[in-house]
Amino acid sequence: MIKPALLALAISLPLTAVAGDTTLARGSHYDFLTRMPTGLGPGISIDHLQSRDDNSAGTAKASGIGLMFGLPIPTLLRVDVGAKAMYLQSAGHASAAMVGGRLTVDLPASSEAFVQGFYAPASAASGSIKSVSDSMIGVRWSPLKLVCIEAGYRVFEVKREDHSRDRSLADGAYAGVSVAF
Protein backbone atom coordinates (compact mmCIF):
# COMPACT_ATOMS: atom_id res chain seq x y z
CA MET A 1 0.00 0.00 0.00
CA ILE A 2 2.87 2.38 0.82
CA LYS A 3 4.74 1.74 -2.44
CA PRO A 4 1.84 2.78 -4.77
CA ALA A 5 1.28 5.92 -2.67
CA LEU A 6 4.97 6.85 -2.84
CA LEU A 7 5.01 6.19 -6.58
CA ALA A 8 1.95 8.42 -7.10
CA LEU A 9 3.60 11.15 -5.02
CA ALA A 10 6.85 10.89 -6.98
CA ILE A 11 4.98 11.13 -10.29
CA SER A 12 2.92 14.15 -9.17
CA LEU A 13 5.82 16.18 -7.70
CA PRO A 14 7.04 17.49 -11.08
CA LEU A 15 3.52 18.85 -11.71
CA THR A 16 3.77 21.12 -8.68
CA ALA A 17 7.31 22.27 -9.55
CA VAL A 18 6.39 23.66 -12.98
CA ALA A 19 6.78 27.43 -13.28
CA GLY A 20 3.61 29.47 -13.23
CA ASP A 21 2.08 32.85 -12.62
CA THR A 22 -0.37 33.68 -9.85
CA THR A 23 -2.69 36.62 -10.41
CA LEU A 24 -4.76 38.47 -7.81
CA ALA A 25 -7.19 40.83 -9.53
CA ARG A 26 -10.26 42.96 -8.91
CA GLY A 27 -12.99 43.88 -11.36
CA SER A 28 -15.91 46.24 -10.97
CA HIS A 29 -18.15 43.51 -9.44
CA TYR A 30 -15.82 40.56 -8.91
CA ASP A 31 -12.46 39.40 -7.52
CA PHE A 32 -10.35 36.46 -8.60
CA LEU A 33 -7.19 34.51 -7.85
CA THR A 34 -5.75 32.42 -10.68
CA ARG A 35 -2.63 30.31 -11.01
CA MET A 36 -1.69 29.20 -14.52
CA PRO A 37 1.40 27.15 -15.39
CA THR A 38 3.93 28.48 -17.88
CA GLY A 39 6.42 26.60 -19.98
CA LEU A 40 6.34 23.22 -21.67
CA GLY A 41 4.72 20.09 -20.33
CA PRO A 42 2.12 19.54 -17.62
CA GLY A 43 1.21 21.95 -14.85
CA ILE A 44 -1.51 22.53 -12.29
CA SER A 45 -3.95 25.42 -12.64
CA ILE A 46 -6.00 26.86 -9.78
CA ASP A 47 -8.90 29.30 -10.14
CA HIS A 48 -11.18 31.06 -7.64
CA LEU A 49 -13.70 33.71 -8.63
CA GLN A 50 -16.15 35.55 -6.40
CA SER A 51 -18.87 37.93 -7.47
CA ARG A 52 -19.47 40.97 -5.26
CA ASP A 53 -23.03 41.64 -6.48
CA ASP A 54 -25.32 42.40 -3.59
CA ASN A 55 -28.54 40.92 -4.91
CA SER A 56 -31.18 38.69 -3.39
CA ALA A 57 -29.51 35.57 -4.84
CA GLY A 58 -26.43 36.06 -2.64
CA THR A 59 -22.77 35.95 -3.52
CA ALA A 60 -21.81 33.68 -6.41
CA LYS A 61 -18.52 31.76 -6.36
CA ALA A 62 -16.57 29.39 -8.58
CA SER A 63 -13.48 27.44 -7.52
CA GLY A 64 -11.52 24.79 -9.32
CA ILE A 65 -8.32 22.96 -10.04
CA GLY A 66 -7.08 21.68 -13.37
CA LEU A 67 -4.28 20.25 -15.39
CA MET A 68 -2.78 22.24 -18.25
CA PHE A 69 -0.24 21.12 -20.82
CA GLY A 70 2.14 23.56 -22.51
CA LEU A 71 2.73 22.79 -26.18
CA PRO A 72 6.01 23.46 -28.00
CA ILE A 73 5.44 26.48 -30.26
CA PRO A 74 7.81 29.12 -31.73
CA THR A 75 9.65 31.46 -29.38
CA LEU A 76 7.20 34.39 -29.16
CA LEU A 77 4.09 32.25 -28.68
CA ARG A 78 2.87 29.95 -25.89
CA VAL A 79 -0.13 27.61 -26.11
CA ASP A 80 -1.55 25.77 -23.12
CA VAL A 81 -4.48 23.33 -23.36
CA GLY A 82 -6.18 21.46 -20.57
CA ALA A 83 -9.17 20.91 -18.36
CA LYS A 84 -10.35 21.99 -14.93
CA ALA A 85 -12.97 20.77 -12.49
CA MET A 86 -15.03 23.66 -11.13
CA TYR A 87 -17.30 23.83 -8.08
CA LEU A 88 -20.02 26.43 -8.63
CA GLN A 89 -22.14 28.23 -6.07
CA SER A 90 -24.47 30.28 -8.21
CA ALA A 91 -28.23 30.05 -7.66
CA GLY A 92 -27.57 26.58 -6.24
CA HIS A 93 -24.58 24.26 -5.97
CA ALA A 94 -23.15 22.42 -8.97
CA SER A 95 -19.95 21.23 -10.59
CA ALA A 96 -18.59 21.35 -14.12
CA ALA A 97 -15.70 19.77 -16.03
CA MET A 98 -14.40 22.52 -18.29
CA VAL A 99 -11.99 22.17 -21.22
CA GLY A 100 -10.10 24.99 -22.88
CA GLY A 101 -6.80 26.71 -23.28
CA ARG A 102 -4.69 29.83 -23.29
CA LEU A 103 -2.71 31.56 -26.03
CA THR A 104 0.03 34.00 -24.98
CA VAL A 105 2.01 36.26 -27.33
CA ASP A 106 5.21 37.94 -26.15
CA LEU A 107 5.31 41.67 -26.95
CA PRO A 108 8.16 44.20 -26.77
CA ALA A 109 9.03 46.11 -23.60
CA SER A 110 8.63 43.15 -21.19
CA SER A 111 4.94 42.72 -21.94
CA GLU A 112 2.62 40.03 -23.28
CA ALA A 113 -0.96 39.65 -24.46
CA PHE A 114 -3.13 36.62 -23.79
CA VAL A 115 -6.53 35.15 -24.48
CA GLN A 116 -8.01 32.29 -22.47
CA GLY A 117 -11.23 30.32 -22.70
CA PHE A 118 -12.85 27.34 -20.97
CA TYR A 119 -16.25 25.75 -21.61
CA ALA A 120 -18.45 23.01 -20.16
CA PRO A 121 -21.68 21.86 -21.89
CA ALA A 122 -24.66 20.41 -20.01
CA SER A 123 -23.25 16.89 -20.42
CA ALA A 124 -20.13 17.88 -18.43
CA ALA A 125 -22.02 19.73 -15.67
CA SER A 126 -24.26 18.69 -12.81
CA GLY A 127 -27.79 19.72 -11.94
CA SER A 128 -29.78 22.05 -14.16
CA ILE A 129 -26.74 23.70 -15.78
CA LYS A 130 -26.92 24.10 -19.56
CA SER A 131 -23.42 25.51 -19.93
CA VAL A 132 -20.55 27.20 -18.12
CA SER A 133 -18.14 29.49 -19.95
CA ASP A 134 -15.07 31.39 -18.77
CA SER A 135 -13.33 33.80 -21.15
CA MET A 136 -10.52 36.24 -20.46
CA ILE A 137 -8.38 38.57 -22.55
CA GLY A 138 -5.64 40.80 -21.22
CA VAL A 139 -2.17 42.29 -21.28
CA ARG A 140 0.69 42.03 -18.81
CA TRP A 141 3.63 44.31 -18.26
CA SER A 142 6.58 43.17 -16.16
CA PRO A 143 8.44 46.06 -14.48
CA LEU A 144 10.47 43.49 -12.50
CA LYS A 145 11.57 39.99 -13.49
CA LEU A 146 8.99 38.14 -11.37
CA VAL A 147 6.24 40.77 -10.93
CA CYS A 148 3.65 41.78 -13.54
CA ILE A 149 0.87 44.31 -13.71
CA GLU A 150 -2.14 42.87 -15.52
CA ALA A 151 -5.28 44.40 -17.01
CA GLY A 152 -7.99 42.77 -19.05
CA TYR A 153 -11.60 41.74 -19.45
CA ARG A 154 -13.22 38.60 -18.02
CA VAL A 155 -16.61 36.97 -18.57
CA PHE A 156 -17.71 33.96 -16.48
CA GLU A 157 -21.28 32.80 -17.11
CA VAL A 158 -23.39 29.99 -15.70
CA LYS A 159 -26.47 29.25 -17.81
CA ARG A 160 -29.22 27.04 -16.41
CA GLU A 161 -32.31 25.38 -17.86
CA ASP A 162 -34.40 27.91 -15.92
CA HIS A 163 -33.13 31.18 -17.45
CA SER A 164 -34.18 33.16 -14.36
CA ARG A 165 -31.31 31.37 -12.53
CA ASP A 166 -28.63 32.32 -15.12
CA ARG A 167 -25.74 34.16 -13.50
CA SER A 168 -22.79 36.13 -14.73
CA LEU A 169 -20.13 35.89 -12.03
CA ALA A 170 -17.79 38.21 -13.93
CA ASP A 171 -18.45 40.54 -16.83
CA GLY A 172 -16.13 43.49 -17.05
CA ALA A 173 -12.68 44.94 -16.95
CA TYR A 174 -10.20 44.06 -14.21
CA ALA A 175 -6.76 45.06 -12.98
CA GLY A 176 -4.37 43.06 -10.88
CA VAL A 177 -0.89 42.01 -9.90
CA SER A 178 0.78 38.81 -11.01
CA VAL A 179 3.76 37.04 -9.46
CA ALA A 180 5.73 34.46 -11.45
CA PHE A 181 7.82 31.73 -9.89
| pLDDT at position 148 over 80 | yes
How far from the centroid of its chain's Cα atoms is residue 13's Cα?
21
Burial label for 19, CB within 10 Å (0-12, 13-18, 19+), is: exposed
Which residue would you say has higher pLDDT here, 29 or 4? Answer: 29
**Taking residues 164-175, what's their average pLDDT?**
89
Q: How far apart are CA 51 and CA 179, in angstroms?
A: 23
What pLDDT is attached to residue 56? Answer: 47
Tell me the CA distances in angstroms from 119 to 79, 143, 167, one per residue in order: 17, 33, 15
pLDDT in tens, 45-99: 999 999 886 554 567 899 999 999 988 787 788 899 999 999 998 878 899 999 9
Average pLDDT over the chain, rounded to an integer: 85
pLDDT in tens, 62-76: 999 999 998 878 778
Q: How many CA atoms lie within 13 A of 106 on its CB side?
A: 10
| pLDDT at position 22 over 50 | yes
| pLDDT at position 138 over 70 | yes
DSSP for 86-120 reads EEEESSSEEEEEEEEEEEEEEETTTEEEEEEEEEE
Q: How far apart are CA 180 and CA 75, in angstroms?
A: 19
What pLDDT is attached to residue 154? Answer: 95
| pLDDT at position 10 over 60 | no
The DSSP symbol for 163 reads G
What pLDDT is attached to residue 4? Answer: 55
| pLDDT at position 37 over 60 | yes
What pLDDT is attached to residue 141? Answer: 95
* Beta strands, E only, 5-146: 20-27, 30-37, 41-51, 61-71, 77-89, 93-107, 111-121, 129-144
**Taking residues 144-165, what's their average pLDDT?**
90
